[in-house]
Structure 1
């Protein structure tokens, strides 16, 4: 080891406080990078596990294939394993009491399917022959007393209905069809092609997530062998290393084999980083690219500040090396050597700290995930790749951070070090201040501003630290909000905000049923609504621009455009709650024929492969809506009472869906609805009730006993969407909290170190008569100058970065760019509070020092 490196190590030991501060900053940076990598890997792993539990561990499904096609799939190069599931049909059982699950649903699976679909045995063993069965635990609520070893005979058949809508499929109902009932609520389906088969019960298994709650039968599983002749089956292909070519390959293979129905496990593929849409890939990669650059820039700034302050503090030491013959290269390498020592110590500690910190965070988060019903939990997942990435990025940031300080160190001469000319500029122009500063704020403010101008490098380093912190916080906040908003837009068409849906053509029966359910202990919310479908005639200026561009409009002979409108009346209590939640004025219906217009919609533009959020109709408060009723059989129209727009909103009440492009949803009071209905010639009223419940299955049973109306149980669909939003929210707030802590550490480190290096300056000011009160006032103004300067540069730069992130989202989504003013207000307040607290904290370390101690202060 050469003498310069030995002196560098000695200097690090002698200046323990400064060395510890630098090590701490580097540890924080490495921990941040490791934490982000670990969060990303662990979060992706969670989503994969949840997708597998929901749908099974497969990638491509080929429906209704034959034995010959099975052989071809097994020989395909992409097939790692092939699961087969055969739908043997439904069987009626006298012991079944449920009116919404009146069947036993028999399915056959091969050995791979039992593994890939993670069938969890509670008792017994898996079936090994086609005449053996295992029974789902969902059957426990029924009066079926099957035991292991029992022989049962099931007459299985296909579900058939005579409803016209099922004619294209020969009247056959699949497992995806809920129970078919007529208008009176009676069962409107039968079983055909019935075959009797004897089975032996060999076990019981835990009800899986892919046994949907709304399916009309309790699942039992048997065994099939792909080498045997059997009915057409569904095959589920698992691919070892899937990539985007999986879609093209599956299309080509299905065409070659004559398979007409191909489906993909989109959820699992999406969480594996594979989507069928280039636009979504481009959006996610672009957003991640922008945010990674911001995080690395923040890390560089954090470590750069530490080394810049270190070089400033070591200027005399470097000048001493120059005086004894040290070359520029030796002085430059001394800074690189210091960075290497700091890195060797800090990066391993940072990696461990990041992993431990995220592990503790997961321990705190998992109970929250469990409380919202998420079956899987975040498990700490650390890969060699994430550790390697952390080491490389940390090394890169340390190198970049030390480069400019090293160049500066190489240029320091002995005379410069003695005169401190690198840090302090005494030219008159450079420290000149405006007369208004003293007049408005006093001599203390002028002194503070002059101090900043004299110590420009430290001043710039501190302001840069604040700017980076501002950009980090706002960019990451906007990034995570964009993720959440993009998911909500993508899922809004399928979003379900209730558990149970009941339809009836009789408004009175629905109202009576609602009153009965209000006293139910497990019911948390009930909403009833009446709907009618009408038309609106609009001028071109009122039509959504996207509809005009697409050419999908319906233009009348008189030049007006026909819109399809759904007018909805909600029960009084639910309407009041909706008005409050949507922040609609209470007096919106003070006049007759008032209407709330849902003027914002989200739809998927298939031609552009993107999701669009836009205005459904261009209208304003107090505009009139001309409603027209059309008899589609005779094409005759009739004008109905005119509505007045008294409120506009983008919020939907429970049970309502987004309209599609070219349509609009309108909400009115019950009195207005009746007035329109009384003028109508057609019976176009639909009556629905939506229910939220703590126990949807029990509530469904109660409803079926009170009414014979059709009940649609969508609990699984609703909870899946809510769970995903909750997980994204946890990820969002955790990530923002992490960045906030990093920013705080950055600011405190920079300001406290800068103040510590100015002890001599403070002692000099006190020696010429500056009182403690004036001294505090001077420092307060310095803090204000720091904050104002950082905000002047940080906020525009943050908005630019946020817009760059927004632009990346527009490859797959279309919505307007909005500046997060609440976040910006929080940042403005936070900057001044943090800077002020950092100054006060730093000054507490100098207030007890005497003037003499300050003047003779040496680095420690």
Structure 2
């Protein structure tokens, strides 16, 4: 080791506090980079495994292929595995205890399919012949009679169709049982053929069977030897390499082999980073890029300041080395060597800390995550060479950027300038001139403080830069966190109840209220509603509505866009309670001669055309405007106005169960008195009742409701879905607030390191001021003024820059989630307060140590 490197190591050891702060800062930044990279890889791995568990491991599916086409697909060099499957169809099952599942659904797989489609066998064996079958444990549980391995099962299998409907009305497992208003089934099995199967095994209910599907899934065997040129099965393929060209290659192969239809496992392909048209990928990559950029900026600020201060402290000794023959290259390399030493210590520790930290986080949230995603899969810490290499490269680049400018500065320090200490402070009367107003308003102490800032401009700029970066980091991450939480809320169904009970038109309000009084119910809300048509002019459409009209003018009817009005009618007591919450005068809305209602202002929904989640105003009308109400006239065969209602006010205060998240629907709340007058002459208006309930024990409450069931009602227990939404938001909050905490640690360490070192370099200056009679009160006053000046200057630059970055972040998120741009005013207020507190604390802490030193020792200090 050469003498320059030995001196550098010695300097690091002598300045233990600064070295330790720098090492900790680098460890935090490397650990965050590692955690972000590992989190991204691990989360994508989870989504892949979850998708495979639900829908099987396949990339492309060729529909309706015969034996010759299967042989040609097998020969394709890009395909690794081919899985054969076939949906035989549905069979009526009279043994079912569950009236919502009156069918058996028969599906066939080959041997490879049993592995690729996650079919978990509990007892027996997999089918090995086309007349063998495995049944699900859910089927056994809900059967009136017993079924066992070895028994025969005779069924007639056909297609589910609407009664008397056309051939294109075939129903699948994703379609629930179809009923009419009286609760009777309106579907039937057609073109049925008789089959006899031998039960050879029992499996767990497949994860890919929807909970609302009307048939219990049974799995049989596709025997390849029985396939002919007239056969028609599905061939699901697993590609050797998943690339963007998969769409073009598969379509080309299908065209070559005359295969009519090709399906893609778009969800799984998305997690490989492949998609035909997916805004989510752009959002994901841009957000990860912004997060990494934020971490790098914070890290560079911290590490750069540490090395810049190190060079300032070592200026005299570097000059002395220059005087005895040290070259520019040697002085520059000494700073790079310092960076290499700190990196060599920090990067391995940071990678380990990041992996350990993310592992602990995963173990904490896995249980909640599985419930939130309704998945059997959990997050595993997936470490790839690429993610570790990525963290190392970004960390090395960060340290290099941080050391480059200080290294250049070190190389240019001459012996004379270093010994005279003139490299940082270059004075002229004009440069340190201050306004007389400063002394008049704040006193001579403030003027001295301001002159010092101007005299030590480089040091002052470094401190302000640190503060600006800290403001930027906090505001950007805070905004990112809030909007990620908002995005999760938008993507989840807004469920604020445990159980929903709906009824047909013959059920009375009294019967519904009886259900609300069962012992296990803690809260209830009975909603009476009806839908009425309206037409909106273009000038009152929402922004998205205007875009829709611009794309296709044919959707307009007589220059207006068709809409629905969902009228929510409240009883007298419920309406008065709602008035207290929303702050309106009940009397204005209960006069039947002047019908007036309250419109829910904002809606959020998924726009399938733009492929993004949207939140916007339902319409651009204003209080006092009228909405025309239409009903269908069978004589004229068109909609005609039958009444109109005034918009009293817009609000976002809703009631339990009211979910205004449908495009094309205006949700309006009115009183019963207004409703009776509004619809008194309309015979075609049907009133619907829905009872929304909360309970401490939803399962028990459901049992009690089923015991009291009256009329034709339907009970939906949605407590699990609601909890999933809440848990997903909680998990997102854990990650986001953890990220904010780490960013805040970097920012505070950065500020304290910069300011405390800056103060320590001014020991001689402070000793001189005390020696000429500056009192402790005057000294504190000067420090307070400097703190305020630092804070104001940092906020002047930091807040506008942060708003610019926030706007870019909003643009990135808006590729998938569209909602109004709002500045994080609360975060801005917090950052303003925090900056002044942190700056003042750092300066007072540093000064308190200097005050204890002897004036003579302070005047002897040489590197001021």
What are the Cα deviations for residues 59-106 of structure 1, in whole angstroms up to 9, with x where unaligned?
A: 233444444443343333443223333333444455432222233333
For structure 1, which segment, 519-528 or 466-475, has the greater mean C-alpha deviation from structure 2 after superposition?
519-528
Contact residue 65 and residue 232 of structure 1 kept, 8 A: yes
The aligned residue for residue 45 of structure 2 is: 45
For structure 1, which segment, 847-856 or 381-390, has the greater mean C-alpha deviation from structure 2 after superposition?
847-856
Between the aligned partners of 2:216 and 2:525, the Cα distance in structure 1 is 28
The aligned residue for residue 798 of structure 2 is: 794
The aligned residue for residue 20 of structure 1 is: 20
Contact residue 90 and residue 103 of structure 2 kept, 8 A: yes
* CA positional deviation for 1:321: 0.7
Other structure's SS at 2:48 match: helix
Contact residue 532 and residue 630 of structure 2 kept, 8 A: no
The aligned residue for residue 441 of structure 1 is: 442
Provide closer, same or farther for how the CA distance between residues 247 and 717 of structure 1 changes in structure 2, counting only shifts above 3 A. farther
Query: TM-score w.r.t. structure 1 length?
Result: 0.88
Contact residue 503 and residue 712 of structure 2 kept, 8 A: no
The aligned residue for residue 733 of structure 1 is: 737
Unmatched segments (≥5 aa) in structure 1: none
* CA positional deviation for 1:371: 5.8
Between the aligned partners of 2:572 and 2:331, the Cα distance in structure 1 is 77
Other structure's SS at 1:154 match: strand
Contact residue 540 and residue 561 of structure 1 kept, 8 A: no
What are the Cα deviations for residues 520-556 of structure 1, in whole angstroms up to 9, with x where unaligned?
A: 6378766534222222454746675324423436666
Whether 1:516 and 2:515 are equivalent positions in the alignment is yes
Provide closer, same or farther for how the CA distance between residues 501 and 259 of structure 1 changes in structure 2, counting only shifts above 3 A. farther
* CA positional deviation for 1:408: 1.0
Whether 1:101 and 2:98 are equivalent positions in the alignment is no
What are the Cα deviations for residues 669-695 of structure 1, in whole angstroms up to 9, with x where unaligned?
A: 333333222132423444445567788
Contact residue 135 and residue 201 of structure 1 kept, 8 A: yes
Contact residue 533 and residue 566 of structure 1 kept, 8 A: yes
* CA positional deviation for 1:391: 1.4
Other structure's SS at 1:356 match: helix
Whether 1:178 and 2:181 are equivalent positions in the alignment is no
Query: TM-score w.r.t. structure 2 length?
Result: 0.88
Contact residue 88 and residue 156 of structure 1 kept, 8 A: no
Other structure's SS at 2:680 match: helix
The aligned residue for residue 622 of structure 2 is: 620
The aligned residue for residue 306 of structure 2 is: 306
Provide closer, same or farther for how the CA distance between residues 407 and 488 of structure 1 changes in structure 2, counting only shifts above 3 A. same
Aligned partner (choices 781, 787, 791) of residue 783 of structure 1: 787
Provide closer, same or farther for how the CA distance between residues 109 and 701 of structure 1 changes in structure 2, counting only shifts above 3 A. farther
Provide closer, same or farther for how the CA distance between residues 202 and 616 of structure 1 changes in structure 2, counting only shifts above 3 A. same
For structure 1, which segment, 399-408 or 442-451, has the greater mean C-alpha deviation from structure 2 after superposition?
442-451
Whether 1:189 and 2:192 are equivalent positions in the alignment is no
Provide closer, same or farther for how the CA distance between residues 300 and 168 of structure 1 changes in structure 2, counting only shifts above 3 A. same
For structure 1, which segment, 113-122 or 258-267, has the greater mean C-alpha deviation from structure 2 after superposition?
258-267
The aligned residue for residue 220 of structure 2 is: 222
Between the aligned partners of 2:635 and 2:733, the Cα distance in structure 1 is 49
Between the aligned partners of 1:849 and 1:577, the Cα distance in structure 2 is 71
Provide closer, same or farther for how the CA distance between residues 32 and 24 of structure 1 changes in structure 2, counting only shifts above 3 A. same
The aligned residue for residue 532 of structure 2 is: 533
The aligned residue for residue 360 of structure 1 is: 360
Contact residue 589 and residue 595 of structure 1 kept, 8 A: no
Between the aligned partners of 1:523 and 1:821, the Cα distance in structure 2 is 37
The aligned residue for residue 746 of structure 2 is: 742
Between the aligned partners of 1:409 and 1:609, the Cα distance in structure 2 is 54
Contact residue 159 and residue 191 of structure 1 kept, 8 A: yes
Between the aligned partners of 1:847 and 1:573, the Cα distance in structure 2 is 72
Provide closer, same or farther for how the CA distance between residues 459 and 66 of structure 1 changes in structure 2, counting only shifts above 3 A. same
> 5 Å matches for 1:117-516?
117-139=117-139, 141-142=141-142, 146=146, 149-158=149-158, 160-163=160-163, 166-169=165-168, 172-229=170-227, 232-277=232-277, 279-370=279-370, 372=372, 374-483=375-484, 485=486, 491=491, 504-506=503-505, 508-509=507-508, 512-513=511-512, 515-516=514-515
**When the two structures are aligned, how many residues end up with a matched partner?**
852
Provide closer, same or farther for how the CA distance between residues 516 and 717 of structure 1 changes in structure 2, counting only shifts above 3 A. closer
* CA positional deviation for 1:270: 2.4
Between the aligned partners of 1:597 and 1:547, the Cα distance in structure 2 is 22
Other structure's SS at 1:431 match: coil
Provide closer, same or farther for how the CA distance between residues 804 and 602 of structure 1 changes in structure 2, counting only shifts above 3 A. same
Q: Alignment RMSD, CA only?
A: 3.7
Contact residue 109 and residue 221 of structure 1 kept, 8 A: yes
Other structure's SS at 2:79 match: coil
For structure 1, which segment, 618-627 or 117-126, has the greater mean C-alpha deviation from structure 2 after superposition?
117-126
Contact residue 84 and residue 109 of structure 1 kept, 8 A: yes
The aligned residue for residue 588 of structure 2 is: 590
Other structure's SS at 2:527 match: strand
